[in-house]
């Protein structure tokens, strides 16, 4: 590798040049020598991209300067005119580096991708919720990201949440859920990622019933799907499910006057809330 000139003779030449010419042309001539020195390095040859070549030039310049300034023969003093020569070269080096923030070529030929200047943030994953369920034991619930309706055609409802006239003998006068009417046999899906904590063919008034626990924004939320068709359950207790995963089909088992999905939703306190309104605010697709 050909190094830029240094030592007493180079310094003398530099001083002589600076006496005759302004410093800018001198930088250009120094740069040309440094560039040809880079081009003479066979290890990089044709594989070095143009900007990497510039980075190499910067390194070569720095190397050359370090060698020059560390050579005792230069002996630059505070009043030496050579200072006015080297100072612009230092500026030129800094300018070159500022133009090369994207990729830096290193000795092994490896490319180091820089960190983005903006829009980079580290966010810790939210902690899971652990719930205790008698039939399952300890249940770990990862945070659900997506919320979906439990049936196709969710706009077809027959009975909303809250007080009502009991539709049948033995039916509650306070409706604990929402009744969806997508049609007998329609698929019923989980409203979000979660874990099945109940899956029974004999859920009493709820008939064939599946319950899924979810971690919604750090809160424990349970969805309960009732009156499914006998034999239509596709999940078992303890199974993890994803948003939109089928649990069973619309039926009329248990205390029911016709095929529909009775959806109940409740938090950790077990108190039922209006699942239809809750979903309407959160469903994104």
Residues that bind Zn ion (CB under 5 A): 177, 179, 262
SS3 (DSSP) at 148: coil
Is the Cβ of residue 59 or residue 189 nearer to Zn ion in the bound state? 189
Sequence-separated contacts (24+) of 211-214 with Cβ below 8 Å: 212/241, 212/247, 213/131, 213/133, 213/139, 213/141, 214/141, 214/144
For residue 250, the minimal CB distance to Zn ion (Å) is 12
- The nearest distance, CB 213 to Zn ion, in angstroms, is 20
Q: 193 with 235: CB under 8 angstroms?
A: no
Helix (H) or strand (E) holding 197: strand 194-200
- Least distance to Zn ion, CB of residue 159, Å: 6
Closer residue to Zn ion, CB minimum distance, 177 or 194: 177
Instruction: Report d(CA 240, CA 143) in Å as an integer.
Output: 12
Q: Please give the angle made by the CA atoms of 53, 114 and 122, to the nearest 5 degrees.
A: 180
The two tokens of residue 160 are 């909303």
Q: Which is nearer to Zn ion, 6 or 260 (CB)?
A: 260
116 vs 270 by CB, closer to Zn ion:
270
Q: By beta-carbon distance, which residue lies closest to Zn ion? A: 262
Q: How far is the CB of 131 from Zn ion (least distance, A)?
A: 25
Report the nearest approach of Zn ion to the CB of residue 248 (Å): 16
| CB nearer Zn ion, residue 214 or residue 262 | 262
């Amino acid at each position: 590798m050909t190094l830029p000139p240094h030592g007493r003779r180079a310094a003398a030449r530099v001083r002589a040049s600076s006496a005759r010419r302004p410093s800018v042309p001198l930088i250009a001539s120094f740069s040309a020598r440094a560039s040809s020195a880079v081009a003479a390095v066979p290890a990089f040859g044709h594989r070095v991209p143009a900007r990497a070549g510039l980075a190499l030039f910067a390194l070569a310049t720095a190397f050359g300067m370090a060698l020059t300034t560390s050579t005792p023969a230069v002996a630059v003093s505070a009043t030496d005119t050579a200072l006015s020569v080297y100072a612009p070269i230092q500026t030129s080096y800094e300018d070159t580096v500022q133009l090369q923030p994207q990729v830096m070529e290193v000795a092994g030929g490896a490319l180091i991708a820089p960190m983005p200047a903006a829009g980079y943030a580290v966010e810790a994953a939210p902690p899971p919720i652990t719930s205790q369920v008698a039939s399952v034991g300890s249940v770990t619930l990862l945070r659900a990201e997506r919320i979906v309706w439990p049936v196709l055609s969710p706009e077809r409802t027959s009975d909303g949440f809250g007080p009502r006239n009991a539709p049948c003998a033995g039916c509650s006068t306070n409706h604990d859920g929402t009744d969806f009417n997508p049609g007998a046999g329609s698929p019923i899906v989980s409203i979000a990622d979660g874990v099945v904590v109940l899956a029974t063919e004999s859920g009493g008034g709820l008939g064939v019933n599946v319950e899924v626990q979810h971690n919604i924004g750090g809160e424990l939320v349970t969805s309960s799907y009732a009156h499914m068709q006998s034999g239509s359950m596709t999940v078992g207790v303890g199974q993890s499910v994803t948003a939109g995963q089928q649990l069973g089909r619309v039926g009329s088992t248990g205390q029911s006057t016709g095929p529909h999905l009775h959806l109940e939703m409740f938090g950790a306190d077990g108190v039922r809330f209006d699942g239809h309104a809750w979903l309407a605010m959160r469903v994104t697709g």
